């Protein structure tokens, strides 16, 4: 179903883009034309964001389900152990201690479990995919105003890192040599 709507949306975006390209080229000047072409890229990203949102919702629902189930079980245990209506300050303290110990134990057991670890890993992964689409949209906008994209900036960072690494290794070697010669 999702594939169908994706196809439908892409079909009409492409057709309208093709149909309008000539009058657009005629009436617009450079940057506006580039922005019109980029709008397709943004549309694709938005469609894919919707797809990712389905997966994200599935994992986040499971995440809160796991938390609320654990809460429910822990609360039942507390109800069995703690007095119904605590009388006096000492009893309140004791009931609070029981509550904290049981809740911490049960939640730690959950966070330590494979089912939590797997779902949390998938949830973060989906969140990262959503971030990636947002990055892609931002890149399109940055390029439309002639600014470097994230990938282009990353390339510069990588190059700087590599140069700095080489320089600092040479500096270190030089220091060691100087020290050796000074002896």
Q: Look at residues 128, 143, 123, 144 and name the one whose alpha carbon lies nearest to residue 49.
A: 128
Nearer to other proteins, 116 or 144 (CB): 116
Looking up tokens 């822990």 gives 74
DSSP 112: T
Letters for 120-139 (x = contact with other proteins by CB under 8 A, - = none) are xx--xx--xx-xx--x----
Taking the least distance from each CB to other proteins, the nearer of 11 and 111 is: 111
| Residue 68 makes contact with other proteins by CB under 8 A | no
Alpha-carbon distance of 131 to 56, in angstroms, equals 12
Q: Which of 79/162 has CB closer to other proteins?
A: 162
Q: List binders of other proteins among 73-112 (CB under 8 A).
A: 85, 87-89, 92, 96, 99-100, 103-104, 107-108, 111-112
Instruction: Note whether 64 and 116 are within 8 A (CB).
Output: no
Q: Look at the alpha carbons of 16, 18, 19, 23 in this order and tell me if their dihedral is positive or negative.
A: positive
Residue labelled with tokens 């892409």: 10
Q: Output the CA angle 27-29-33, nearest 5 degrees.
A: 85
Q: Is the CB of 14 or the CB of 155 nearer to other proteins? A: 155
List residues near other proteins by CB under 8 A.
Answer: 85, 87-89, 92, 96, 99-100, 103-104, 107-108, 111-114, 116-118, 120-121, 124-125, 128-129, 131-132, 135, 154, 157-158, 160-162, 164-165, 168-169, 172, 175-176, 179
């Amino acid at each position: 179903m999702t594939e169908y709507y994706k196809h439908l949306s892409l079909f009409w975006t492409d057709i309208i883009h093709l149909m309008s390209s000539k009058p657009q080229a005629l009436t617009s000047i450079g940057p506006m034309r580039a922005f019109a072409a980029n709008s397709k890229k943004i549309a694709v990203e938005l469609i894919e964001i919707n797809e990712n949102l389905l997966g994200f919702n599935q994992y986040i629902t499971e995440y809160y389900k796991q938390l609320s189930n654990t809460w429910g079980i822990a609360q039942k245990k507390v109800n069995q152990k703690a007095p119904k209506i605590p009388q006096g300050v000492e009893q309140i303290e004791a009931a609070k201690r029981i509550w904290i110990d049981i809740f911490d134990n049960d939640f730690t057991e959950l966070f330590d479990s494979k089912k939590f670890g797997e779902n949390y890993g998938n949830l973060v992964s989906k969140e990262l995919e959503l971030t990636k689409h947002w990055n892609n949209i931002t890149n399109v906008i940055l390029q439309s105003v002639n600014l470097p994209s994230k990938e282009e900036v990353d390339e510069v960072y990588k190059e700087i890192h590599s140069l700095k690494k080489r320089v600092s290794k040479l500096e270190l070697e030089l220091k060691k040599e100087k020290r050796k010669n000074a002896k």
